[in-house]
Amino acid sequence: MSRDPDRGGVPAPTTASLRPTRLGLAFLGLIVVTLVGCINYALSLGYAVTFLLGGVWVAAAAHATRGGRAVRATLEAPPEAVAGTPAAFVARVTSGGAALSAVVRAGVGLVRRGVAVRVPAGQTVTVTLPVPAPVRGRLTLVRPLVAVFDPLGLWEVVRALPVPEPLTVFPAPEVAPPPPPPRRLPLAGEGTGRTRGDEEFSGLRAYVPGDSPRQVSWRHAARTGTLLTRETDAPAGTVLALDWADTAGLKDPEARLSRLAAWVGQARRSGTPFALTLPGVTLPVGGGEGHARRALAALAGYPPLPAAPMETRKKAPPALLPGAPLRFTLLALAVALAPGALRQPVWVTLLVAGVLGYTALRTRRPLPAPPTVLLGVVAGLGVALLYARYGTLLGRDAGTALLALLVALKAAETRTRRDARLLALLGVFVVLTHFFFGQGPLVAAHAGLGVLLLLAALGVWATPGNADREAPRQAWRAAATLALQAVPLAALLFVLFPRPEGPLWQLPVQDAARTGLADQVSVGDFASLAQSQAVAFRADFAGALPPPAERYWRGPVYEAYDGLRWTQVRVRGPAPSVEVFGPTLAYTLTLEPNGKPWLLALDTPTTLPPGAFLTGAFQAVTFRPPTSRTRYAFQSRPARLGLRESSDRLNFDLALPAGESPRALELAANWRGLPPGARVEAALAFLRNGNFSYTLTPPTLPERDRIDAFLFGTRRGFCEHYASAFAFLMRAAGVPARIVGGYLGGEVNPGGGYLIVRQQDAHTWTEVWLPGQGWVRVDPTASVAPARVSAGLPTALTRPAASAPLPATPLHRAALRLDSLQNRWNTWVAGYDGSQQRALLTRVGVGRVGGPLYLAVGGVLLLLALVPALLVSRQPRPADPAARLLDDLTRRLRLPRAPGEAAAAYGVRAGQRYPAQAAAIAEAVRAYQVARYGSQGDAEALRALRAAVRRVRR
């Protein structure tokens, strides 16, 4: 360890390095993977959780930095070590701030050992670091260090420790050795001479390291300040003479040394003086601890020294994990998996619950662990069943069900701390997959709870001594603290992080059928759809809302008819003409996911969202069907469509199946002599005056001649009945006609001023082509039930001629207020996308994403968002008031104290560094000692210390 000359020979503080742990790198990898997934699938809530995890990663680094600055550690060698047994090095770890988790590590050759310790705030903890000592000789530690971790174990701050002096490893004594030979020294007998022993006092000598403290003359040391050791002697006749030649019967030199070590140990325990003779080494007669250790050291260093064996790391069987943290981890995982029970097969839910419950029960009772083969069979069977159910394993429903199954099986085979941490990371990934199914407030609340529990589970496994029942509670508090500190950074990234417009790759995420408009129209389709209260989309208008009669939301166009159903076709030919007129209507649709490529628009859209186009049938279509709630901005204007229409399309829209509904053909043939507009009015008059009724439960129509059966028989139907019959009559009368599907109307939410269009508002109407007018919308349902246009579906079913909707009930008004909150959530959280981001940045004057002002403002806000982490990472302040004032002195001088440096020693070093202020520094140190250890009143001594510190110039 280096020494700083400015510190007066005091060891310089070792440098610290901050680096992520393996778990931290895995955590960062999870953040990257989830971020890529959020970009690809436009998961706004996924962005929020991902950025929260990123903020936690940064805040954890700040906590690790603070712990690294607060830690002080020393590593001391044991008094002695014996070959074949671990050398018990003593580590003392002190926390100068909050409680911290640390690991003391050291290596011998290529092998490293470590011991974990939990240090309470402001305390010192002593632990033993066992280091292998396989052979005799000199043992030198390599790179001893202390690593301090954040509460989750994502980061570590590593500080190098001073390397202890090399340790002499004594030979392992022989077990049950024979007694040493009864050899006597030349001067034998009480009267002829004496030698070193432990019977009678013979004098004082200078202290030698290794002498027993019981032999030190402490009275003389207190008087003179010099350590002296008492010497004793004994009759020479009791002295043992140990010689290398006495072990000649053993061939192995190590065995001979082992026997001599055993004899030395026997003499040491009995207090018998002895002499030791080795080839080239002779120790005179002596006794006591010092003499015995010198003899053992001579045996340890006898050449040649044996080579240390290559240590093979044997894979020990995994120890049982502590029950309390494992149960807490399983609880967090169960919370993360819970929403899957609402959509996955029942057998998957039961299997997951059973596996997690059995694993938790094993922490309390001695139950057998499930064999790996059995888990593999269950996994294979689950894969086969899911593939049989969904026909794929890559889709949203199949993929998430398979993930839940595999995570539960991983929990069953959890054996080590590494497995438990991996389980928590997998749980975080599971939480993010729920955003494929919804991003509402309840989903967000579940995600927040699940992520906090899983972060706490990581914290449980990062804490030494986590078998304590209080460990989950402490980990929960630490995870909540990190999350709160991460919120500013997460919010900033959520608002400013660029949102790409398109996905990075295409992968199916829509497995289950969604309620919505179909690819074809047959009798009964829209009647069943109209019974759904689910929201199809919401529409926000930049200006006044259009009147109810103009709220036709155009969707798919059906032009091919086979007698049973109307389907979409692509008619080749030149593009039809569009002549717009009238004012522009600007609005934004928040479309619920439906998996269909068509978009809904009023009138004729003149400005389409990116990635959308207008077909030859004037239908807005997107290249990327929405798989999640998506916002689309439109501008529409009234227009004359298809004034110049291709003859191929017009002829196609006159085609009828041969022999179908002859009575309807005969009726329409009577109108062929009328002008085209009059033919339309004649058909509407027939419906208006024909005693037709509007109902959601019409009678079943036959497979053949169903138009005749409806017009001249049942006369009861829904919108698809009237649109299909009217289009048939128009084609039979020689007027090109087609059916348009979409939605009609929408409920105004007074709390938000927007329209709520539900699936029950699904509607079909007819378009006819008239010379000089082009395609004209005709809604035959309005002739039978005018309330369907002016008042909405519920009113039309009970009062077909009403002109206003039924008054809202208190319960319905409460539902509208709740929907208003839902719409705001969709707009600013779940639906926050690139267009929303650009609009927000423009409104606050930041400019475009990536511009100079954007980068400048983003950089400033980023620094502000990092303030909580920067405050955490500061050097912790001592808890004692006097110690805090001494810390103020070190900050004023910009000269920190060295680890373990006393205040007096620091004052001397600081005075040498700043001679002009030596007197003021000395006075401040004296005032500190009085305030900290003196008998004066605390308040008065602290005031004097504060004044002395202030007299030291900065």
Q: Is 847 helix (H, G, I), strand (E, B) or coil?
A: coil
Which of 63, 291, 721, 763 is the catalytic position? 763
Q: Enumerate the β-bridge partners of residue 565.
A: 522
CB-CB contact of 151 with 466 (8 Å): no
What tokens were used for 411?
Answer: 């929990």
Q: What's the first-to-final CA gap in the chain, in angstroms? A: 30
Tokens coding 286: 């002596």
Q: Is 38 a catalytic residue?
A: no
Structure-token pair, residue 296: 């053992």
Please give the C-alpha separations between residue 261 and each of 139, 180, 265, 299, in angstroms, as whole numbers.
18, 11, 6, 7
- Active-site residue, 63 included: no
Residue 632, beta-bridge partner list: 589
Contact between 217 and 181 under an 8 Å Cβ cutoff? The reply is no
Residue 434 is a catalytic residue: no
Collapsed DSSP state (helix, strand, coil) of residue 229: strand
In contact, 925 and 906? CB cutoff 8 Å: yes
Taking alpha carbons only, the member of 96, 95, 97, 117 closest to residue 105 is 117
- How far apart, in whole angstroms, are the C-alpha atoms of residue 854 and residue 710? 64
Q: How many CA atoms lie within 13 A of 653 on its CB side?
A: 28
Return all residues near 395 (Cβ < 8 A) that are at least 6 apart: 508, 509, 510, 511
The DSSP 8-state label assigned to residue 578 in this structure reads: E
> Which of 63, 705, 719, 721 does the annotation list as catalytic?
719
Kindly give, in sequence order, each residue whose CB lies less than 8 Å from that of residue 809, ignoring residues fewer than 6 positions away. Answer: none
- CA proximity to 302, closest of 282, 281, 274, 276: 281
Catalytic site residue from 211, 653, 708, 779: 779
What gap in Å lies between CA 474 and CA 954, rounded to an integer? 41
Instruction: Give the C-alpha separation, 39 to 934, whole Å.
Output: 65
Closest by CA position to 538, among listed 259, 826, 317, 316: 826
Structure tokens at 578: 């569009």
Phi then psi for residue 389, to 5 deg, are: -75, -45
Per-residue tokens: 437: 């199914």
- Nearest Cα to 235, choosing from 269, 187, 279, 270? 187
Closest CA to 173 of 257, 289, 253, 240: 257
CA distance 599 to 596: 8
How many Cα atoms sit within 13 Å of 79 on the Cβ side? 9
Q: Which residues of 49-61 are buried (b: 16+ CB within 10 A; e: fewer)?
A: bbbbbbbbbbbbb
Range list of H helices, 638-770: 647-652, 662-669, 676-688, 706-709, 719-732
For strand 240-243 and strand 274-278, is the pairing parallel, antiparallel, or unpaired?
parallel
Cα dihedral sign, 195-201-206-210: positive
Classify each residue of 774-785 as buried b or exposed e, where b means 16 or more C-beta atoms within 10 Å of its C-beta.
bbbebbbbbbbb
3-state DSSP of 20-81: ECHHHHHHHHHHHHHHHHHHHHCCHHHHHHHHHHHHHHHHHHHHHHHHHHHEEEEEECCCCE
Do 355 and 363 meet the contact criterion of CB atoms below 8 Å apart?
A: no
Structural tokens at position 338:
């819970």
Indicate which residues carry an active-site annotation: 719, 763, 779
